[in-house]
Every structure is written in structure tokens, then in C-alpha cells.
Amino acid sequence: MNASELSVKVERKSVAALDICTFELVDVNGRPLPAFSAGSHIDVHLPNGLTRQYSLCNDPAESHRYLIGVLRDPATRGGSQAMHDLVCEGQVLRISAPKNHFPLAHEAHRSILLAGGIGVTPILCMAERLAVVGADFEMHYATRSRDRAAFYDRIIASPYAPRVQFHFDDGPPGQKLDIGTLLAVPQPGAHVYVCGPKGFMDAVLGTARANGWPESQVHYEFFSAEITKSDSDESFQVKLASSGRVVVVPKDKTVVQALADAGVEVQTSCEQGVCGTCLTRVLEGEPDHKDMYLTPQEQAANDQFTPCCSRAKSAMLVLDL
Ligand code: FES
């Protein structure tokens, strides 16, 4: 176990909604856990060998526990199913210390929080933080149906409940989330935060960008992604700037896998382009970005890429490794 990792015990596992469980994690020796801020996540090392990121959704003022919510998603590669089927109360898990790639912007005058499905976990933590400090915000929580809305009772019972609107896909048309109206005009000082499934994220981010919201006022976190294979995914070469060594990346391997075969380790976590752990500087060549981590501007700069999923448009990439 590396120094920044923690051993935690599953103190409680509860059903929070249809196909959603929460896991309350405490230090194995009962010590306080490292502090975190709203929007933080932890890496959880699962019994089946996968590592997955889960947002913390308890009050950041608490140091005796971390709370995560996990959706059972049969379409994913087994992370959520392992959490639901293999992890039980009393079990000890290895996790990372909290990291925050999705922090609240302190300069915001107003916050618009948008949660789709299980994407509510970081958004809920943000709403509670904004409520505690008396900040101006509104929250929209969209799910397929009421029975899939985790934390519904916690939200309804909270002092900030009047700021939250629920939107159910199977509900009457009048309560559906109208992203086009909500984000019709960029508002000075207003910041938008979104987390949810890819379709939801694409709709919110696409609308915000089309309507001219500055990238600096739009914050997002993807929690999983389908890596799109392109017909153009060909074999290419990467060159390690430090040694000049050239490694071939075959069509059916990622850059990380090809480098590992050549004895070069790149640290990874999600392996699907959402967490940024593997981010590597590109000194020459043009990457074929497939991640959800970098902003469109950062991708366009072509000076860094995520080798766990991204590839190359040029015959060679020179990497700062
Ligand atoms: S390991 Fe998460 S982005 Fe590459």
C-alpha cells in the first residue's frame, strides 16, 4: 500500500434508491480521516482488482467517515457490480486520500448545480456546502423516476430544499428539466456545475457552450466514459524524450499498455479518460484525444494527453517521459 493510501472499513452499506447503494467508510483504527472539500472523490481499490472513483457525499465537516453512493450499472466494466455484489459491511478496503478535481469556484456569485442520476453525489455535497455558507444557488436533480432518486428524503428534509427542483423522466412534461431555458444566457458571476451520465453531461455542456457560457464558468466531472474506438485507430509510435527510446503502440493496445509491455510504468487509476491520473506532457506530434478530463481548449493545445485511452493522429508522439 502506498503512503497516500488508507485502509477503511465498510461500517454500513445501505440501499439509497433503486440500484443505488451507499457505503459508509471509517478508518480501520477509528482515527479521523483526512479532510476533504465539496466535489472531492476517492479512488476505491475493488476486490476484483479494478480501481474506481467515487465522489464523497457526506458533510465535509465530518472527519469520522466518508460516504459514497454507487449505482449498479450493468453496462460498465464491473466496478459498480463489484461494489454491490462483493463488498459487504465489515470488509476492509484500500482507498486513496480524497482528491478534488471538481471544486467550487470561490469567486461565484451564484451557482447552478445540475445532477443527473448518480451524478448527484458531488452535487449534493456542493449544495450542502453552499447552504452552510449562505451562498446563492439552485440545484436541479434529474432522474429516470422518483424511486431512482437517491438522497431524496435527505434533500426534502434539508433547509435548502426550496432551492432544489426534482425532474423525473417519467413525470408530467411541466417538471422536465429545460436545459435550454436554464442556460439560455450566460450570467456574469454565475457558475454552472454538472455531473451525471454522458448523455446528460453532453446536453448540458453542449447547451452552455452553444449559448456562449465562458469555459471558466462551467465545471464538470465525468464519472465514467465509453472510450470510442475509431476506424482510424492505427498503430503508431511513442518516443520517450528522456532516453530517446521508441515504443510501438499496436492497434489493439493503449499507450499505457504498450509502455507497460516495454517496462515503462505510467500511473493510472480510472483507465477510461476521466480522472487525469495518467496525464502526460506531449512534446511533439498530435494526440487523438479520447478523454473526458481535459477541456476542449486544453485538448486543442495538444501539449498533453491521457495515454490510458487517447491515441495519436500523427505517426509519432514524443512524450515527456
Ligand atoms: S487513468 Fe484516469 S484519465 Fe487516464
Q: How far apart are CA 15 and CA 26, in angstroms?
A: 18
Can you give the pLDDT at residue 225?
Answer: 59
Ligand 1 centroid to Cα of residue 281, in Å, is 14
Ligand 1 centroid to Cα of residue 126, in Å, is 24
Ligand 1 centroid to Cα of residue 267, in Å, is 8
Q: Is the CB of 306 under 6 A from ligand 1?
A: yes
For residue 278, the ligand 1 atom closest to its alpha carbon is 4
Can you give the pLDDT at residue 21?
Answer: 96
For residue 275, the ligand 1 atom closest to its alpha carbon is 2
Buried b / exposed e over 151-173, threshold 16 CB at 10 Å, is bbeebeebeeeebbebbbeeeee
Sequence-distant (6+) residues with CB within 8 A of 215 are: 209, 295, 296, 297
Q: Is the CB of 278 under 6 A from ligand 1?
A: yes
Cβ of 4: how many Cβ atoms within 10 Å?
A: 10
pLDDT digits (tens, 9 = 90+) for 191-201: 999 999 889 99
Ligand 1 centroid to Cα of residue 42, in Å, is 14
The whole-model pTM stands at 0.84
For residue 293, the ligand 1 atom closest to its alpha carbon is 3
Secondary structure class of 185 (helix, strand, coil)? coil
Q: What is the CA radius of gyration of the chain?
A: 20
Q: Is the CB of 34 under 6 A from ligand 1?
A: no
For residue 306, the ligand 1 atom closest to its alpha carbon is 4
Q: How far apart are CA 71 and CA 93, in angstroms?
A: 18
What dihedral angle (degrees, nearest 10) is formed by the CA atoms of 279, 125, 45, 250? -30
For residue 276, the ligand 1 atom closest to its alpha carbon is 3
Ligand 1 centroid to Cα of residue 153, in Å, is 34
pLDDT along the chain (321 residues), means of 10: 82 96 96 96 88 92 96 78 92 94 93 97 96 96 96 96 97 95 96 94 95 95 68 85 95 94 90 89 96 90 96 96 94
Ligand 1 centroid to Cα of residue 170, in Å, is 35
